[in-house]
Structure formats: structure tokens, C-alpha cells
A and B are shown apart, each in its own frame.
Chain A
Amino acid sequence: MTITRNDVPGPGTSPVPGRDARDERGQDGKKRAGIGWRVRLRRDRTLIFMTVPALLLVLAFNYLPMFGTVTAFQYYDYIAGFFHSPWAGLDNFRQLFVDPAFWQAFENTLVLSFVQLVLYFPVPIALAIMLNSVLSSKVRSFVQAVVYLPHFFSWVLVITLFQEMLGGAGVFNHFLTTHGMNTWGIMTDPGTFKYLVTAQAVWKEAGWGIIVFLAAIAAIDPTLYEAAAADGAGRWRRMWHITLPGMRGVIVLLLVLRLGSALSVGFEQFIIQRYAVGSNAAEVLDTYSYYYGVVANNFGLGAAAGLFKAVVSLVLILAANKLAHYFGEDGLYRGKS
């Protein structure tokens, strides 16, 4: 069908694309309560129809696989399948919770997540603000391109690069050796591994992370800056009183999302460097699931570890959302109030 202007439903019959959520919510929800769901269904049918493909994708790839969680309660035998594997009750969880390697992985995950939260999270914000202050659009797009680029490198490549620069046989240590100094095993030191991986994450992802923040800054009304400048506010005051408050919603939203995925610190980055520093430092929940679940052909245990992670993540995200409300932000969602 060819879409012409005439096909766009008129304001009286159907939703206008530009209609804002605020109209819907009204002042206190009364307006919405006034319309029956049938009427709304009729009115919104085009929009609902448009969401069907996405809904199907979510069902097929997010909800359907959740049935696989049953393996956590089975002695899963991949040849026999879900339907013929014997039930294990909570035995996989019992096995999981007495395994010191699991708790080590859990602890590592939390520590890494915390270190990354403190050391990584502010970097893209700072970068975005700095970039925004660059006036020359040429310089800005150049810098932007340069900092985006590492995002497209694979972890193997990033770690190889780090190894070539900082590894025992790398440029840095070779310089030290040839100048009669002791070498510094940055890449193989379990103690500083958390900072190493955070540095790698900053190098690879911080540039990419600024996109959202740049968008948030762009959405700030420029007249505010003009007014503030007219009132004599300097660069720092403008940042503190206009830019940062303008970004607050986005920052809090991303923080909430980040807490929800606090137990997913990555997989490849750790599996590649696992032997360099040992599993005491590099094992995270996802690599634990892989080694002790998939590789060891103990799928039940792996699934149990995954389920445990999912439950903890759910709790975390709910808590973070509450916290966002407490600070007066929308967070991920708001229940009816």
C-alpha cells in the first residue's frame, strides 16, 4: 500500500503520532480512567499492531528460552533433553552454594562491578561535557570518531594490544629491561587485575558511552545558558547549575540499568585473561557458568548459577529503581500512583 498523506488518520479518529504521554496520563490519571479499554483498543489499534513484531521477538528470544531454566532443577542430560532428564530438586543449588569457586566468582563479580561503577561510570559523562565545550565542529567530530573507534574492536584485539604494550614482553617492559630496571607484570598481577580490566573497559567503551550523554546535553535549552551567562555565571557554574542538572535524568536512568546488570561484568574479557591472572581474580559468574556448567557438561549447575544471578539482578534493579524514585527521578518505570 502506498502511504499518502490521506492515509494518515485524522486527529478525530485515531492517535496522532506526536501525541505525548503527558496527554494520556493527564494531570492525575482521571482522563485515562474515563475511556474504556475497548475504546482505547480501537483507537490505538494501529500502534498496537505496530508493536506486534517486536513483541513476537521478545517472546521468541526472551521469554521462550526462559523455559530452559528448568535445567537448573534437573540432572540435565543433553541427549535425553528437558523432558527425559531426571529431576534434581534443589540439588544443583546445594552443590552451587557449597562450592567455594562459586562464591569466589560471586565476590569477584561484585568487586569488579563496584570498581567499574566508581572508576568507569563517570568517565563518559566527563568526556561528553568536555566534548560539548569544544566549539570547532571539525575538531569535535574528529575527537568523537577517535574515541568511538575502540568500541568496534573485539576484546581479543583490545587485550592483545594491552599485552603488546604492557605485557611482560611488551613495549613498556622492554623499555624497563633495556634501561636496567625491574619489569612490572601489569598484565599478570592478580591484585591489580580489577583496575586493569577497568582501564581496558574505559579505553574500549568510554567513547561509545558518551553518545547518550551528548544527546542529553543537546536537549538542554540553550536560552538557560544565555540567561546564566547574562547573569554573570562562569563556565563552572554553568556546568554545575545547568548542564549536570539537565543530564540528571539520563544519568540516574543509566545508573539504574547498570545496577541491574551489576552481575554481568562481561565474559570475553575475562575468559581471555583468565589464565594470565588465575581464576581467583578473573573468575566472574558468567565464566563460572561456562567452565563448570558448559565445559564440564554439568548444565544443571551452570543453569543454577545463571538463575541465581538473574534473581539477584532482579532484586538489584528493583532496589535501584526505588532509589531513583527517592531522588525524584523516573528511573526505569513507575507503578500506578
Chain B
Amino acid sequence: MATGGRSIPAFPASGVSRRNVLRTTALGAGAAAFGVPLLSACGGSSSANGGVSASGLKSSLPDYVPLTGGVTPDIPSVAGVHGAVTDAGYLSYPTNLVKSVSEVPGSGGSYTGVTPLWGSIPTAGNGYYQAVNKALGANVTMTPANGATYNTAVPTLVAGNKLPDWIQLPTWWNSTFNVGELAASKFADLTPYLSGSNIRKYPNLAAIPTGGWQVGAWEGKLYGIPSFTSGQAFAGVLFYRQDIFESKGINPDDVKTADDLYSLGAELTAPKAGVWAFDVLSLMTTQIFNVPFGMFHAVNGKLQFVCDTEENLASLEYCYKLAKSGYVHPDALAGNTNNAGQRFYSGKELVGSGGTGAWNVMDAQQGQAANPKYKRGAFKLFSNDGSTPTIGLGAATSEVSYLNKSLSKSQIEECLRIANYLAAPFGSYEYTLINYGVEGTDWTTGKGGPTYTSTGQKEANEDTYQFLCSPQNAVSNPGYSDITTAYCAWSAEAVKYAYKPLFADFNISVPTRFATAAAAAELTDVTTQISYGTKTMSDYAAAVKSWKAGGGNALLAWYQTNVYDKYGAGQ
């Protein structure tokens, strides 16, 4: 569900969920325009002609040193194919909170941090902030900004020369923000501090898998600090109301094809009762129709447009058919994504697509407030014609933070020590402080683990420091272990079908002249509108034609010569 993305800390891939929140709303879910791995337009003097992170990156990447000891997961990680790995699951929260960082990381410095937030902004200087800053030994002033308009706020900050000391930039906006160029001109190069064995000074950072660091690398150098690193970053999940399906005797596993899903729509829709089967499902139709992830795919060594593929056209046609079927809730078709969560909770729509982060404690609590029997379930992956499904594996993280270039060497080291503290693993004392706040004030021990008090709900419940840095994901839903079990089971199934999209390992900066084509705003826009039924396939064909002529073709040629032919597929 689009609004289900508010996740409590300690839940996996909450970042991914946010990405999906935005993909489904602001960016649309068009295969043509999103998912280009870490693509960034770039116009700075250092890289006006574009560049690829892979060049020289091998020597800069930090060592990966997993932590030893710690809490043993109840549901261990499962490795799938093509590097997909599930996050470990914990059914209970440890009671003995072990300290993972022995000394106070900060040395009294003052820093400003800006992070996106999709929820209600906590009051500045609240008790939670004070407690965390005290533990950090530094004054990190967090200024969370509205996530829904973050893409327009960051360019303003930069243009006004008001960049904070530490800022988080969600990777799906890399091309909007020109992060490649920003990194070169405004952000601190962390390579000398973190490359190779240098990272071992910061054991918790060293325990973040390499994939996370790759996402923050630009032109062979390390700039970004990853949050919520995961080996199972999937675009989304097709959710359903498990309690209602059970009461109606519907077995979700019977849905094995796109047609099955469509006929389910007929079965569930009852306008007289105010019930419609679906939300707008475009986020997941690309998965169902096996649309290659990204803007290009390679066929026999030649790059081709994903927007032209049969899979993409079939997916769009299906979206349009759904929009016109009468099975989609009218409010969803009217573009009202804000109430999608409410519609799902109140049982007015029964199937929706959303990020994996929608599936957590907060969701269960909100849903049960509307209906005590509320239970969220997820369809197993299936493909349109019943063949073996596929699902694109996203980059290891979509939340990367950067340090301001103006910081001195000792300040950068202080920030990295702070990051090391923030990256303390699941179940540690530090992790609990950052995610739940102060015991007694922000949380108390409830059934199965920490439960927020009303103060904690307001102050500690939203991700703030976590978006500067956080450890590898762990699945934990204190008090709702059945969610953890169900989620881990879904993930273990999904990783079997993962594939790595083209250029997945690269951060690519395209030359300035391609910035507009790379953003592909008109394609995204038409794609979104098709899923609302307000534009047709012929509009799409026209938009593709004009996009190609207006830079798409040139962009493809540039990718072929400067990326694919030089560095390969990066998969």
C-alpha cells in the first residue's frame, strides 16, 4: 500500500518500502523510467562527459568483515540466485542488550543532518534526540524534511549553498540530483578513510556488505554511507487481505497467471458494498510481466530500449485493462494515493502493491485498529502466463548519506565514528537506543520486545539517525513474530527467482546533454497515466517516439559505447 511505507525501525528494507512508496506515486511505476541503476546526470568539470563508478572502484572498496558473536537469528539468511540473500529474521527481541561500541564516538563536535521523512516530523530538540546525541558525544542536529517533496527541496539547498554537514540522498533520485556531480564538487571523498583495511577502524561499518558501499561510489571513489543494506531489495510485493481471503475461502496460491488475477477482480469487487478488488497495481505488473528492470537491456551484446519490449507493452496494456475493468477502487483511479492504506485497512480494497517495508508492526497495529481481524498477506511471485516468475534485484540500498566537503579531516573522522555507532547491529544496546529511544521514556518491554510509549511514538518511531547510517537489515517485529515468519518465508521464495538487472553494480553519470533524456519524465508520466486509465497505448507510442528523438536514441548510443562496450553488463 502506498501509505503503508511508514515502518518502524528494526524492520527490514524500510528503505525499500519508501522507495516504492515514491515509485508508485511521484515517479510512477513505469519500467521505462525507473530502476535505471544509479543513473545520474552529471555536468561538473570533473565529469561533464559522464563516468562510471566501476572504473578503479575495486581498489577503493572497503573490506567486508562480518561481526562475530551477536544475537543468533531464529530464521537464518537464505541465499537465492544471482547474489540475492534474505535478511535474517528474529522472532524475539534480545533481553540482554550488549554494547557494541566501547567508547563515546564523538568528540563534542556539532553537525547538521538532513534526511527525508515520510511521516510526521518529530519536534526539534526532543528528548530522544537529546539522549542519542548524549550517547554519540556530539551534537548532531537532525532536520528531517518532508520525503514527498524532498526531490525539489534538495536542489534548492544546493543552489542556495545551504547543504548541511551530513545529508541523505535516496538513490532513486540520483539522476534528479546529479549525485555524480554533487559528489565530485560538494561531498567529502571517503576513500582515504574507508578503502580496503582502513574501514577496520570502524568494525560496525566494516560489517556492512560491499554492495551497500558500491551504491555510494562515484567514479572509482567512495562517497556515500549506506543505510538499510539488504541482499533482497525487491521493487515490491503484491499484498492481499489475508483475513478476508480466508473468510471467503479464497486460496491466493490459485492465482498463477495475470488472467487469474483479473478474474479474482471480478470475484472480489462489489460496488454496492463499497468494495473493490484492487488498488492501482502498476508497481507489480512489471514483475508479473517480466519487464526487464531499467531503461535498457542487452540482446546479443547490443543495448535495446526496455520501453519497446513486448513485456513492457503487455504490462502497460494490462494496467490499462485493469483501470478500465471496474475492479480498481475509484479513489485509487482518481490518483488518491494518500488514502490507499486506509482503503486497505477498512477492507474497501483487497489487493494492493507496495514495498516490503509496508509489512510490519505499525501496519498490523493500524490495520487492527480498523478491524481486529486484520492480517496482511503476500501473493507468491507468479508470472503473466504461469511460467517461472522473475524479480529484479535492486541495489543493496536505496538510502545513502554523504558528508559535506567543507568538513575537516578530524570532523570527518568524528562523523565516521558516529556512523559506526549508528551501524551497531540488531539487538545491541546502541541499536535499541537509536531505534527505540530511552527505556522507560520512549519504550517499555511489552510482549515480545520493546513497545513504544506515547512519547516514543512521537519522537523515536520515525527514521532519522537511521537514514544517516544503519546496519545491515534484520527482520524483527516485536510482539508480531508471525509477520516475521511470513515475511521471511515470502523472501526465501522470492530470492530463488531473482535476477540482477543490467548495470546493477554501476553508478553511471551521464553527460549533461543527456540529463533530460535520462530523467525520461514524459515517459514516466504517460506510464503512470496509463495505469490510471487516462492515457492510452497510442499516447505511449507517441511519447516513446518523441523521447527517443529528443535524446533517448543518443543516450542509448552513449551507454553502448561508454558503458556497455567498456565495462560490460555490470551484473
Contact = CB atoms under 8 A, between A and B. Distances in A.
Interface stretch (B100-108, B174-182, B488-496): B174-182
B512 A77 contact: yes
Interface in A140-173: 160, 163, 167-170, 173
A279 B515 CA distance: 23
B151 interface: yes
Contacts of A188: 330, 333-334, 534
Nearest to B530: A278
A306 B444 CA distance: 54
Contacts of B152: 294-295
Given A77-B178, A79-B43, A295 B335 contact: no
B525 A297 contact: no
B522 to A, nearest CB: 7
Interface in A88-105: 95, 100-101
Contact of A169 (B159, B176, B329, B534): B329
A78 interface: yes
Given A101-B522, A292-B521, A297-B175, A275 B532 contact: yes
A272 B148 CA distance: 13
A47 to B, nearest CB: 36
A291 interface: yes
A81 B160 CA distance: 9
A297 B447 CA distance: 48
A243 interface: no
Interface stretch (B113-121, B206-214, B270-278): B270-278
B178 A178 contact: no
Contacts of B532: 275-276, 278
A184 to B, nearest CB: 11
B155 interface: yes
Given A79-B44, A292-B521, A295-B151, A276 B159 contact: no
A177 B159 contact: no
B151 A167 contact: no
A81 B159 CA distance: 6
B521 A296 contact: yes
A295 B532 CA distance: 20
Nearest to A169: B330
A297 B535 CA distance: 23
**Size range of the chain B interface in the assembly:** 35 or more
Contacts of B512: 75, 77, 86
Contacts of B20: none
A284 to B, nearest CB: 15
Nearest to A85: B43
Interface string B324-350: 000001110111100000000000100
A168 B333 contact: yes
B186 interface: yes
B519 interface: yes
Contacts of B176: 295, 297
B41 interface: yes
A177 B273 CA distance: 10
A187 interface: yes
A321 interface: no
A293 to B, nearest CB: 9
Interface in B237-295: 271-272, 274, 276
A190 interface: yes
A326 B3 CA distance: 56
B335 A274 contact: yes
A273 interface: yes
A156 to B, nearest CB: 8
A273 B43 contact: no
Main secondary structure of the interface of A (DSSP, over half): helix
A172 to B, nearest CB: 12
A109 interface: no
A100 to B, nearest CB: 8
A263 to B, nearest CB: 21
A279 B513 CA distance: 26
Interface string B409-452: 00000000000000000000000000000000000000000000
A298 B534 contact: no
Interface string B170-201: 00000111100110011000000000000000
Contacts of B298: none
Given A278-B534, A280-B534, A298 B516 contact: yes
A80 B46 CA distance: 12
A277 interface: yes
A169 B331 contact: yes
Contacts of B546: 100
Interface string A186-199: 01101000000000
B529 interface: yes
A167 B519 CA distance: 33
Interface string B542-571: 000010001000000000000000000000
B41 A80 contact: no
Given A276-B333, A297-B176, A292 B522 contact: yes
B528 interface: yes
A291 B27 CA distance: 11
Interface of B: 26, 41, 43-44, 151-152, 155, 158-159, 175-178, 181-182, 185-186, 271-272, 274, 276, 329-331, 333-336, 348, 512-513, 515-516, 519, 521-522, 525, 528-529, 532, 534-535, 546, 550
Given A169-B276, A279-B535, 6 more contacts: A77-B181, A77-B512, A167-B331, A168-B329, A297-B175, A301-B516
11 contacts: A79-B181, A86-B512, A169-B274, A187-B330, A188-B333, A190-B534, A276-B532, A278-B532, A278-B534, A295-B26, A295-B176
5 nearest A-B pairs in the assembled complex, by CB-CB distance = A168-B330, A278-B534, A275-B335, A296-B521, A276-B334
